[in-house]
């Protein structure tokens, strides 16, 4: 992103409130709305410079694991449309989910996602609620009977949670667990024994907490079985051959939108077998038949996902996005590996996540200082998950290269001072 | 709202995108971000007039049943904070749900809601996902055993859906149904037979589709039983004595926020009895123990609800809000009743909803014309629900009196032309 200068008008799409400075706790009832007349007849020209220098940005460099940073152009677009979406006279938050405006939004979101992931026509795309955690129950309730065996490969905390929830509804077995090695590995696919009768094989494609990512995918031993992947933390971060999976599911709040939207991509022939005790909102058939509009969906969240999908396509699609993610991850892992042990990443090199980079310090007593000093430099959310400690830099699609470069520069400078 | 003039600065809180006009379908990747430097050093003064004349508003008058109109000052506040929430350097959509910024948002939202509804300390407030429809299953899964009898008073489609979902999980009985009278009544409380052993008595406090609203609440016959109310479409539209209920639940998307947030107010002693087969995301105990942060909540939606709660308090609380709603409803129902039968509302006068006003025309063949002409006047979403036909004006908290006055004026003018 080179520095550039732009001038623009305060027009219809950008309504500005009159804000009088006051404590947050106070009411803001006195806010009044501008009329179009004014903004139409008195356009105001503002010149402003755009720059990639993160330091000059009013915003922080946000390494949060999710909810996480969103693309700035997406946020600015959402801001410009929030009060009056594209001349509709309504905010997206005010639209009937059955009106033509919102239908155009959800339909474009789905078709853009289908284009991004090259989703075959025999798969349905569902926009749901409740997070991946709700899917941990929905999967067995829809896809197997109480006594059916199913296999789980557990490479981190999320895979383990998915397994534990499945225990309520079927006969799941952990066919491989990385727990003894503190979740730093992915098994070789012939390194674990699948149940030949397992209805499905479940993996978590990227473990957000431990930074372990599948680079390829195992094939179910049962010829009638299928693979299920929780892709919450690496969804749309790279191309994926959807045809290898029976179900792909993901919470939106890492790579493609705000929290409150869960995307399920499911092979159509797997839909329609929910048990009688399945809550109607967990029945894939209900959502598929109603195009995700059985009840009121999380409309604004779906709209935000749609803006992100549009942005990912504009970047050249997931091949280009993956290249950017690989470059970002490489400079960070290189900085760790070339620190002569000052920084350490416990994850086996071949399966290190492009999205979540956990690392520790040779001198653990310096970790709090590292996080504190980084925050002073406006680099936030670098603390590791409470269950593993250390540091974690989540560098999802929306993290600019400049943000990672800033972190790496800080790491080297920190090491120079404390080595 | 009198016309007033305000001048204000484009400051830190209002980031403006550079928008070049182009087809929506095209990418907007070239959008660039303003730097604070510019907005700090080059404040732009804009004069604009605020007026209550709905006609001069760039926005429509939105009678949608939900998602529905939101208060304009809330939308403008959200717009001003979307790119950089109160100097945090992040959008609310980008914040870790465990960070201090979002914790301050959800905690203020809860405390403001507790103040609005005077919620006793022995009740928990949960911010969940999945809509009221998810609660239709969560209620029996958490509150009774498979063979427990429970009673449902069915005054419309939503109460009926709640009953049907409960059939999966316990032994529900419809103790009264208004179906034969097309859901136009609420029974007198001694007009139906409760099961003395019923674990709970369920009502839908306001039927969005049929416009039938409870003005008082029945008392469970079982001394150990409790009352449950779906208040989705009249939540926070008037004061409610929470202590009369075991559980109050509501989707946010009518009166208090965008879709994607479901609020559950539940007496603490009722929490902790979920069955083993309850999906973890439907277990009230899990959400209560984790202060609605067991997994990632719908953060932006909760933030929006918080802005609405703040606004309702600023209006003087629910007593004042109810007065406004009564006035709005009165002029609309009066216009119908004084039309000498040209307009008709089928609902029994004593239980007409303050929120959803269904009406028909003496000459049904004019209804399409009525809706079409109203839309030309920028009054939208007046079509009745597909299951009942006719018209419906939803006039939730955020509908200004001026909006209802505009509709009434149009109705009289329309009648004059077609009577």
* Residue B281: closest C-alpha in chain A: A134
pLDDT digits (tens, 9 = 90+) for A282-295: 999 999 999 999 99
CA B310 to chain centre: 15
How far B399 CA lies from chain A's nearest CA (Å)? 12
CB contact A375 to B (< 8 Å):
no
The contacts of residue B245 (CB under 8 Å, 6+ apart) are B217, B226, B227, B228, B229, B265, B267
Q: Given B112, B160, B230, B283, which residue is catalytic?
A: B230
How far A15 CA lies from chain B's nearest CA (Å)? 7
Question: Are A358 and A391 a contacting pair, CB within 8 Å?
Answer: yes
Question: Are A266 and A123 a contacting pair, CB within 8 Å?
Answer: yes
B362 φ, ψ to 5°?
-55, -40
| H, E, C per residue of chain B | CCCEEEEEECCCCCCCCCCCCCCCCCCCCCCCCCCHHHHHHCCCEEEEEECCCHHHCCCCEECCCCCCCCCHHHHHHHHHHCCCHHHCCCCHHHCCCCCHHHHHHHHHHHHHHHHHHCCCCCEEEEEECCHHHHHHHHHHHHHCCCCCEEEEEECCHHHHHHHHHHCCCCEEEEEEECHHHCCCCCCCCCCCCCCCCCCEEEEECEECCCCEECCCCCCCCCCCCEEEEECCCCCCCCCCCHHHCCEEEEECCCCCCCCCCEEEEEEHHHCCCCCCCCCHHHCHHHHHHCCCCCCCCCHHHHHHHHHHHHHHHHCCCHHHHHHHHHHHHHHHHHHHHCCCCCEECCCCHHHECCCEEEEEECCHHHHHHHHHHHHHCCEECCECCCCCCCEEEECCCCCCHHHHHHHHHHHHHHHHHHC
CA B48 to chain centre: 31
CB contact B296 to A (< 8 Å):
yes
Burial class (CB in 10 A: 0-12, 13-18, 19+), B236: buried
Nearest to B79 among A38, A83, A378 (CB): A83
d(CA A245, CA A398): 26
Residues of chain B with Cβ-Cβ distance to A308 below 8 Å are: none
- Are B96 and A64 in contact (CB < 8 Å)? yes
Selection from B295, B281, B301 nearest residue B138 by Cα = B281
Q: Given B85, B112, B151, B158, which residue is catalytic?
A: B158
CB contact B377 to A (< 8 Å):
no
Q: What is the mean pLDDT of chain A?
A: 89
* Residue B294: closest C-alpha in chain A: A133
Q: Within the 14-33 window of chain B, which residues sit less than 8 Å (CB to CB) from chain A?
A: 14-20, 24, 27-33
Q: What percent of chain A has pLDDT over 90?
A: 85
Residues of chain A with Cβ-Cβ distance to B297 below 8 Å are: 259-260
- ipTM of the prediction greater than 0.85, yes or no: yes
- Are B280 and A32 in contact (CB < 8 Å)? no
d(CA A166, CA A136): 7
The contacts of residue A11 (CB under 8 Å, 6+ apart) are A39, A40, A43, B19
pLDDT digits (tens, 9 = 90+) for B22-74: 333 333 333 334 433 333 333 333 333 333 334 346 899 999 999 999 999 99
* Residue B89: closest C-alpha in chain A: A59
- Coil, strand or helix: which one is A340? coil
Q: What percent of chain A has pLDDT over 70?
A: 86
Residues of chain B with Cβ-Cβ distance to A75 below 8 Å are: 82-83, 91, 93
Q: Within the 263-282 window of chain A, which residues sit less than 8 Å (CB to CB) from chain B?
A: 276-277, 279-282
pLDDT of residue A57: 62
pLDDT digits (tens, 9 = 90+) for A44-92: 333 333 333 343 468 999 999 999 999 999 999 999 999 999 999 999 9
Residues of chain B with Cβ-Cβ distance to A129 below 8 Å are: 129-131, 134, 260, 298
Q: A263-285 burial, b for 16+ CB within 10 Å, e for fewer?
A: bbbbbeebbeebbebbbbbbbbb
Burial class (CB in 10 A: 0-12, 13-18, 19+), A317: middle
CB contact A83 to B (< 8 Å):
yes
pLDDT of residue B38: 33
pLDDT digits (tens, 9 = 90+) for A136-156: 999 999 999 999 999 999 999
| Pairs of residues, one from chain A and one from chain B, whose beta carbons lie less than 8 Å apart | 380
Selection from B120, B118, B69, B116 nearest residue B318 by Cα = B116
- Coil, strand or helix: which one is A183? coil
pLDDT of residue B220: 98
- Coil, strand or helix: which one is A44? coil
pLDDT digits (tens, 9 = 90+) for A380-399: 999 999 888 999 999 999 99
Question: Are B418 and B345 a contacting pair, CB within 8 Å?
Answer: no
- Are A16 and B47 in contact (CB < 8 Å)? no
Question: Are A237 and A397 a contacting pair, CB within 8 Å?
Answer: yes
- Per-residue pLDDT tens listing for chain B (419 residues): 333 333 333 333 333 333 333 333 333 333 334 433 333 333 333 333 333 334 346 899 999 999 999 999 999 999 999 999 999 999 999 999 999 999 999 999 999 999 999 999 999 999 999 999 999 999 999 999 999 999 999 999 999 999 999 999 999 999 999 999 999 999 999 989 999 999 999 999 999 999 999 999 999 999 999 999 999 999 999 999 999 999 999 999 999 999 999 999 999 999 999 999 999 999 999 999 999 999 999 999 999 999 999 999 999 999 999 999 999 999 999 999 999 999 999 999 999 999 999 999 999 999 999 999 999 999 999 999 988 899 999 999 999 999 999 999 999 999 999 98
CB contact A330 to B (< 8 Å):
no
* Residue A89: closest C-alpha in chain B: B59
Best interface-test mutation with A: which of B5, B91, B157, B374 has the largest number of A CBs within 10 A?
B91
How far B199 CA lies from chain A's nearest CA (Å)? 20
d(CA A266, CA A263): 10
Residues of chain B with Cβ-Cβ distance to A69 below 8 Å are: 90, 94
Q: What does DSSP assign to residue A267? A: E
Best interface-test mutation with B: which of A49, A103, A129 has the largest number of B CBs within 10 A?
A129
Q: Within the 48-77 window of chain A, which residues sit less than 8 Å (CB to CB) from chain B?
A: 48-51, 56-60, 62, 64-70, 72-73, 75-77
Residues of chain A with Cβ-Cβ distance to B33 below 8 Å are: 50, 57, 72-73, 76
- Are B48 and A39 in contact (CB < 8 Å)? yes
Task: Tell me the mean pLDDT in the region A340-358.
Answer: 98
HSE, side-chain direction, 13 A CA sphere, residue A225 = 21
Question: Are B384 and B374 a contacting pair, CB within 8 Å?
Answer: no
Residues of chain A with Cβ-Cβ distance to B249 below 8 Å are: none
HSE, side-chain direction, 13 A CA sphere, residue A65 = 23
Q: What does DSSP assign to residue A96? A: -
Best interface-test mutation with A: which of B16, B276, B282 has the largest number of A CBs within 10 A?
B16
Residues of chain A with Cβ-Cβ distance to B36 below 8 Å are: 56-58
pLDDT digits (tens, 9 = 90+) for A238-277: 999 999 999 999 999 999 999 999 999 999 999 999 999 9
In A87-199, which ranges are E strands? 123-128, 149-154, 171-177
Residues of chain A with Cβ-Cβ distance to B167 below 8 Å are: none
- Are A129 and B298 in contact (CB < 8 Å)? yes
CB contact B5 to A (< 8 Å):
no
CA distances in angstroms from A115 to A256, A313, B378, listed in the order given: 15, 8, 36
CB contact A376 to B (< 8 Å):
no
Instruction: Tell how strand A206-207 and strand A247-251 pair up.
Output: unpaired
* Furthest-apart CA atoms within chain B: distance in Å: 72
CA distances in angstroms from B90 to A91, A132, B28, B386, listed in the order given: 21, 24, 21, 42
How far A338 CA lies from chain B's nearest CA (Å)? 30
- Coil, strand or helix: which one is A201? strand
Element (H, E) at A50: strand A45-50
d(CA A287, CA B131): 14
> Catalytic residue positions of A?
158, 230, 254
- Active-site residue B254, yes or no? yes
Q: Within the 99-138 window of chain A, which residues sit less than 8 Å (CB to CB) from chain B?
A: 99, 129-134, 136-138
- How many residues are there in chain A? 419
Residues of chain B with Cβ-Cβ distance to A52 below 8 Å are: none
């Amino acid at each position: 992103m080179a520095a550039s200068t732009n001038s623009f008008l305060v027009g219809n799409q950008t309504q500005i409130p009159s804000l009088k400075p006051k404590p947050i706790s106070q009411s803001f009832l006195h806010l009044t709305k501008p009329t179009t007349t004014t903004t139409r007849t008195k356009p105001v020209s503002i010149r402003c410079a755009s720059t990639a220098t993160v330091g000059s940005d009013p915003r922080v460099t946000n390494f949060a694991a999710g909810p996480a940073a969103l693309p700035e152009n997406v946020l600015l677009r959402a801001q410009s449309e929030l009060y009056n979406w594209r001349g509709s006279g309504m905010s997206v938050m005010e639209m009937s989910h059955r009106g033509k405006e919102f239908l155009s939004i959800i339909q474009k979101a789905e078709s853009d996602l289908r284009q991004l992931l090259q989703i075959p026509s025999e798969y349905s795309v569902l926009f749901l609620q409740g997070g991946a955690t709700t899917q941990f129950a929905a999967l067995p309730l829809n896809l197997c009977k109480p006594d059916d065996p199913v296999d789980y490969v557990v490479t981190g905390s999320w895979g383990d949670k998915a397994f534990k929830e499945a225990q309520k509804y079927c006969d799941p077995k952990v066919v491989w667990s990385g727990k003894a090695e503190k979740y730093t590995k992915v098994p070789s696919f012939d390194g674990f024994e699948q149940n030949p009768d397992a209805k499905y094989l479940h993996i978590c494609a990227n473990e957000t907490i431990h930074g372990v990512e599948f680079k390829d995918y195992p094939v179910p031993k049962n010829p009638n079985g299928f693979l299920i992947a929780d892709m919450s933390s690496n969804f749309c971060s790279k191309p994926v051959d959807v045809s290898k999976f029976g179900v792909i599911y993901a919470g939106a709040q890492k790579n493609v939108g705000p929290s409150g939207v869960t995307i399920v991509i499911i092979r159509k022939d797997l839909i329609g077998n929910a048990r009688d005790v399945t809550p109607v909102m967990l029945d894939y058939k209900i959502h598929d038949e109603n195009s995700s509009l059985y009840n009121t969906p999380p409309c604004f969240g779906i709209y935000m996902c749609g803006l992100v999908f549009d942005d990912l396509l504009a970047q050249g699609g997931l091949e280009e996005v993956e290249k950017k993610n690989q470059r970002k991850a490489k400079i960070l892992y290189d900085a760790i590996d070339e620190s002569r042990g000052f920084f350490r990443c416990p994850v086996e090199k071949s399966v290190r996540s492009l999205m979540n980079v956990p690392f520790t310090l040779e001198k653990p007593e310096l970790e709090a200082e590292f996080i504190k000093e980084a925050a002073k430099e406006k680099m936030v959310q670098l603390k590791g998950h409470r269950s593993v400690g250390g540091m974690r830099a989540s560098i999802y699609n929306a993290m600019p290269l400049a943000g990672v470069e800033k972190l790496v520069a800080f790491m080297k400078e920190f090491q120079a001072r404390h080595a």
